[in-house]
């Protein structure tokens, strides 16, 4: 696992966007060989989406041959509901880039047969050759996608009851009314995430410092599903200074030292131009 420690959320956004852009440029996607990008919602990726939109507007990257798969969606919210992840993705990302609508995949939380919908989603991911890079955030209790504490570490896409903690945390998007937050969601599994070729997880802020601790220093446990990333061959945690508050000083210094040459954002941006 690589851990990149940066000053703040502006820097984690830039670093993650430049990394995604670099992987896309290196891959040279075509209609026959599309780049398959897994995407999250939540407040964490918002700045990364802005940076990716900037790179698109600057003509550095294109989403023409990119297929996306979102990690989750609430059950029972239609795509035009402002709190649905369909709506979120359109408003914060898709409407600003040249992605083809048919290349966008988000679990259908309105499906009458949720189990069949989850199977369809897994099959679709498989049919395009799997996910090249999954971008992720993390919940305060360490959940990745909606894989709440206690989720099987080999789980696949399925419906999942949300915990009270998550409902409470997400109620900020629902007028702070826990009653309005859906209690069920469709989510890719931990196993689905682990199958992707690379996972980038952004962790910002004090509230996430325990999740960062369990992800980096804790043992692998179903109670902190972020810890499953330790089993992935290419997992990268992009963490801001506030989120590392619970790490040992020794761990902090170790990652600061070994990654010191890889955090120059200007250099990363310049490198993107060399792919032209």
List the catalytic residues: 72, 141, 143, 148
Confirm or reject binding of residue 44 to ligand GLP (CB under 6 A): yes
Confirm or reject binding of residue 210 to ligand GLP (CB under 6 A): no
Of positions 42, 109, 182, 218, contacts ligand GLP by CB under 6 A: 42
* Touching ligand GLP, residues 167-206 (CB under 6 A): 170
Confirm or reject binding of residue 72 to ligand GLP (CB under 6 A): yes
CB 146 → ligand GLP: shortest distance, Å? 5
Confirm or reject binding of residue 132 to ligand GLP (CB under 6 A): no
Specify the residue, 34 or 182, whose C-beta has the smaller distance to ligand GLP.
182
Spatial separation of the C-alpha atoms in residues 147 and 189, rounded to whole Å: 7
- Contacts with ligand GLP by CB under 6 A: the residue count is 14
Spatial separation of the C-alpha atoms in residues 69 and 122, rounded to whole Å: 10
Quick one: which of 119, 122, 93, 120 has its CA closest to 13?
93
* CA dihedral sign, ordered 204, 125, 69, 15: positive
**Which residues on neighbouring strands pair with residue 37, listed in sequence order?**
68, 133
Encoding tokens for residue 91? 């408003």
CB 183 → ligand GLP: shortest distance, Å? 13
CB 151 → ligand GLP: shortest distance, Å? 12
Spatial separation of the C-alpha atoms in residues 189 and 241, rounded to whole Å: 29
One DSSP character per residue, 231-264 reads GSTTEEEEEEGGGGTTS-HHHHHHHHHHTGGG--
Specify the residue, 137 or 215, whose C-beta has the smaller distance to ligand GLP.
137
Confirm or reject binding of residue 107 to ligand GLP (CB under 6 A): no
- What are phi and psi for residue 252, nearest 5 degrees? -55, -50
Confirm or reject binding of residue 138 to ligand GLP (CB under 6 A): yes
Cβ-contact 145, 41 below 8 angstroms: no
> Which one of 31-39, 96-104, 132-140, 153-161 is the stretch in contact with ligand GLP (CB under 6 A)?
132-140
Spatial separation of the C-alpha atoms in residues 204 and 137, rounded to whole Å: 9
Of positions 7, 30, 33, 43, contacts ligand GLP by CB under 6 A: 43
> Which one of 16-24, 135-143, 217-225, 228-236 is the stretch in contact with ligand GLP (CB under 6 A)?
135-143
> Which one of 25-33, 42-50, 51-59, 88-96 is the stretch in contact with ligand GLP (CB under 6 A)?
42-50
Spatial separation of the C-alpha atoms in residues 152 and 165, rounded to whole Å: 19
Which residues would be at the binding site for ligand GLP (CB under 6 A)?
40-44, 71-72, 137-139, 145-146, 166, 170
């Amino acid at each position: 696992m690589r851990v990149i420690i940066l000053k703040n959320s502006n820097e984690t956004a830039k670093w993650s966007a430049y990394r995604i852009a670099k992987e896309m440029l290196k891959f040279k996607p075509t209609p026959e060989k599309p780049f398959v990008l897994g995407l999250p919602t939540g407040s964490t990726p918002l700045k990364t989406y802005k940076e990716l939109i900037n790179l698109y507007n600057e003509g550095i990257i294109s989403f023409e041959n990119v297929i996306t798969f979102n990690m989750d969606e609430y059950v029972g919210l239609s795509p035009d509901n402002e709190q649905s992840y369909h709506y979120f993705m359109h408003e914060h990302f898709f409407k600003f880039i040249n992605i083809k609508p048919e290349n966008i995949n988000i679990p259908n939380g309105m499906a009458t047969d949720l189990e069949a919908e989850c199977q369809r989603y897994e099959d679709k991911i498989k049919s395009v050759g799997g996910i090249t890079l999954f971008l992720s955030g993390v919940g305060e209790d360490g959940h990745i996608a909606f894989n709440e504490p206690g989720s099987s570490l080999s789980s696949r896409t399925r419906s999942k009851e949300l915990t009270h903690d998550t409902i409470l945390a997400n109620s900020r998007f629902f007028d702070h009314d826990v009653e309005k937050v859906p209690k069920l969601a469709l989510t890719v599994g931990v196993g689905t995430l682990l199958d992707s070729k690379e996972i980038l997880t952004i962790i910002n802020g004090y509230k996430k410092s325990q999740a960062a601790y369990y992800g980096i220093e804790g043992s692998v446990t179903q109670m902190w599903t972020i810890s499953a990333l330790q089993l992935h061959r290419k997992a990268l945690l992009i963490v801001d200074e506030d989120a590392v508050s619970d790490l040992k000083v020794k761990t902090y210094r170790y990652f600061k030292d070994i990654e010191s040459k890889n955090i120059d954002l200007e250099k990363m941006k310049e490198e993107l131009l060399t792919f032209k």
